[in-house]
A and B are shown apart, each in its own frame.
Chain A
Amino acid sequence: MVYSRRPPSGARAGFVRRRDFLKRSLLMGAAASSSGALLSLLASHDEAQSQSSTPVRGGTFVAVGHQEVPTLSPGKAVGNVPLFIMYQLYDGLVDVDENFEVQPALAESWEISDDGLTYTFKLRKGVLFHDGVEMTSEDVKYTYEFYGDPESGSTISGQAADIESIDTPDPYTVVFTLSQPNATFLRITATNYYIVPKHYHEEVGEEVFETRPIGTGAFKLKEWRPAEFTELEAFDDHFRGRPNIDILRQEIVPEASVRAIAMETGQADTMTWPPLIEDNLRFAADTENFTTFVSSSLSVNHFPLNNNHPILSDKRVRQAMMYAFDRPRQINDVQQGAATLATSNLSPSLVQWFEAMVTTYDYNPAKAEELLEEAGWTMGSDGIREKDGQKLTFTCTTITGDQARRPQAEILQQQLLAVGIDMQLSEAPITAIQTGLRNNTVDASLFNWNYGGTNGDPDAPTTLPSDGRSNWSNFANARVDELLKLGRQEVDPERRAEYYREIQRIVADEVPFLFVMYWDWFNIFSSRIKGLPKSALAGDFIYKKLHEIWIEA
């Protein structure tokens, strides 16, 4: 079977329309997928949408997620399941939509000064909070000052670090002055800071607010049981208009198979955390009962390699591992074709930033052996290479009980052995692995992680810089550090893209980690749900549009 799921050549320039791009990559994916089920997904789902009539009011929309919603504070919620609720309760100044486009939200327009230091937002008039009070610039200022203060314990304060001052010349204007240009300001900061009402938050304090929140969102809180469900109801005075559905509920169902059962029995309309790949493919093939959006995950499925490890610090060894590694086979065998081959640190769905012209690593064991010889590793009598009496061996620690990914490590182990590399396997919980990589007690691992692309922005402030908090491979490259800094400060998108393309070329060449694939991300809806977007590059952001959907009677 021929595997070809490379991004289309035109993707880089951004002149391929998103829909075409998605359709094309879907078709290619279908050709590679063993089930061949994805073939007509987009087409059929277009038809379904065009047939749908006028919106109907009423009904309950049920989502099922896997983890509890521990807080309703917009300054602390992380992870898909809590964020699903945030999308409904709150709005930011701007928003990033399901196709990674920046859209107005509470701000109806904005201006950026030429030096990139001043952002002036014009607020929409007449936006009401759930308690009926109008939202003004004072609320915006308060929100940024409260959650931007590290002492608040918020998880988003770092995003406001560049803000020097916030001015509110009138109730509908907010002016941010930055200490240095920050190209991520709109997509990251202005999108992630959800505005809370000053009068209420100040009165009750954060501890009460995070259990009884008030926002401007299309839905307001009805009942919250962190480990069980969160129930929201339509907010009649929402500035975009009252949502069609009356009740929106997210149930917490830890077991993947039980979530799939909930979909199957019609007890759930969508899953905010996907079940097993087999179930995803089955639902995707059943176009009569389900509407499926397939997008590419932003997190890369990868083997972090500790670059501080004496053996793994040699670039030739890392490159040799890439050549010895039949990645398309993993996509087909382990992921059933539902993935895109990774070429570097960014997903091809980030069409604006993606770099296609990088060093590629087609499966080539001979080339791997050549590189290892060049690096001084000669074949030992036991089939394991050695140098200066030292064996070419290291340990890959996978996540305890990770049934989905563990087979990947087992396949890689055999392929590396074929070229004389001995990769031992062990298991540990994810938190232990991450601490171990930081402390150099873990050599290598296997999990998915984001190396840029959050909200469609290419910055990777924690995973790629040499001092990054989540730089799991301990990758240290002075040029990458410099490029990241330049990229964050460059406000012109075209020039900015050049920096991130160079980063991708360096990552592809340096192989700080073995990048394998970007999983297909499935967002599946019951077919009774109408008014969904036509297509999505960021499937989870469809959940930002639930005020538009309706339930077919």
Chain B
Amino acid sequence: MGRYLIARLFQGILVVLLISLITFIIVRLIPGDPVDLLLGEGQVPITEAQVEAIRRQWGLDRPLWEQYLTWMGKMLTGNFGTSIIRTGVPVNRMIWEAVPVTALLNLLALGIAIAVAIPAGIIAGARRNSWFDYLLTGGSTLGIALPNFWLGLMLIVVFGVMLRWLPPFGLRSWQGYILPVVVLATEQMAMLARVMRGAMIEILNQDYIKTARSKGLSDRAILFGHAVPNALLPVVTVIGFRIAFLLSGTIIIESVFALPGIGRLLYDSVFRLDYQVAQAIVMVLSILVVVVNLLTDLTYAAIDPRLRLLARSR
């Protein structure tokens, strides 16, 4: 187990290093000059000295390899540098301010999705072809198919404009979270419910369920003693996957509802060639994915005896 852990850890570090290099290159492959964006469109005299000074200030005049090493060096000390567009603001602070918004949004959505989708998926799977099952299958197909920006705009129109119950945008009060959370939860709910239902149906057809039934166990005991715990495994995997992507995947929703989260920060920084910010966000997100993957694998190894054996035999 110890060697396995070290090997996985080493693997993780290698992946992060590789990602850092790829990120650095890709961000710089976006054509364009950040200085253009800094100077704006207005017709005012601009001198060469001025352009060069700005370039120097942001280290854009240095060779690429040097820029990369400088960035990596700083990053090892936990410093992501400063934003070019939001002149001089530390990237760390920008990320720290944006993370809670996105994290809260996603955690609330995921929480609601789990609370609704798992019982619904269990019932639909257990009562296959019932009216409830049809409702859930139909509803979840719709929930996955609806583009979330469209759903967001519709909710704004209905609850923000027509009924005026909720603020149409922004986070000036806690009510600002309601509509975006509903939109995000809808999509995740639909997905989780489908996975749960599918897993239930599959498990309920297994031989050991038939055995349990022929032993004379009650439906209730079969359902909660055998079927549900086993059917939960794939659902847990999906939830783990969602947690890994907790901070991404809300780019569009954050723009629609004007929320200052990490998704919008990433989107803006890519479009405004704010290299430091874009790089930092991609790094933070990928480190998060690597860490969560590592933890998931280790948890599996701890839970599943077969994986544990495999690890030991290595």
Contacts and interface: CB of A to CB of B under 8 A. Distances in A.
Interface of A: 67-68, 70-71, 73, 76, 78-79, 150-159, 161, 184, 188, 192, 206-207, 210-211, 225-229, 251-255, 257-258, 261-262, 264-265, 267, 299, 428-432, 434-436, 449-454, 457, 459-463, 469-470
Contacts of B54: 153, 155
> What are the nearest 8 A-B pairs in CB distance?
A431-B32, A78-B40, A432-B31, A70-B86, A454-B43, A150-B53, A227-B260, A158-B47
A226 B264 CA distance: 12
B44 A461 contact: yes
Given A157-B47, A262-B169, 13 more contacts: A152-B53, A155-B38, A155-B39, A157-B50, A184-B45, A206-B88, A207-B88, A251-B169, A252-B258, A428-B31, A431-B31, A435-B32, A454-B42
A75 B47 CA distance: 15
A264 B160 CA distance: 10
Interface in B116-169: 153, 156-157, 160-161, 164, 167-169
B40 A469 contact: no
A192 B54 CA distance: 19
A159 B168 contact: no
Contact of A262 (B88, B97, B168): B168
Contact of A229 (B53, B86, B170, B271): B170
B170 A253 contact: yes
Interface of B: 30-33, 36-47, 49-54, 57, 83, 85-89, 97-98, 153, 156-157, 160-161, 164, 167-172, 255-258, 260, 264-265, 268, 271, 273
A153 B87 contact: yes
Contact of B87 (A71, A251, A459, A462): A71
Contacts of B53: 150-153, 157
Contacts of A229: 170, 172
Contacts of A79: 40-41
Contacts of B258: 228, 251-255, 258
A258 B168 contact: yes
B45 A461 contact: yes
B43 A459 contact: yes
27 contacts: A68-B86, A70-B86, A70-B87, A70-B89, A76-B87, A78-B40, A79-B40, A158-B47, A158-B50, A161-B45, A188-B45, A192-B44, A227-B98, A227-B265, A229-B170, A255-B255, A265-B161, A428-B31, A429-B31, A430-B32, A431-B273, A449-B41, A450-B42, A452-B43, A459-B43, A462-B44, A469-B39
A381 to B, nearest CB: 38
Nearest to B256: A255
A444 to B, nearest CB: 17
Given A150-B53, A265-B161, A258 B43 contact: no
B86 to A, nearest CB: 4
Nearest to A75: B87
B160 A78 contact: no
Contact of B88 (A192, A210, A257): A210
Task: Determine chain B's interface SS by DSSP, over half rule.
Answer: loop
A453 B41 CA distance: 12
Contact of A469 (B42, B46, B160, B161): B46
B263 to A, nearest CB: 11
Contact of B31 (A258, A435, A463): A435
Nearest to B98: A227
Contacts of A265: 160-161, 164, 168
A154 B38 CA distance: 9
A332 to B, nearest CB: 26
Contacts of A153: 53-54, 57, 87
A227 B264 contact: yes
Contacts of B36: 431, 434, 470
Best-surrounded residue of B171, B258, B271 (most CB of chain A within 10 A): B258
Contacts of B260: 225, 227-228
Contacts of B170: 228-229, 251, 253
Best-surrounded residue of A257, A258, A435 (most CB of chain B within 10 A): A258
Contacts of A252: 258
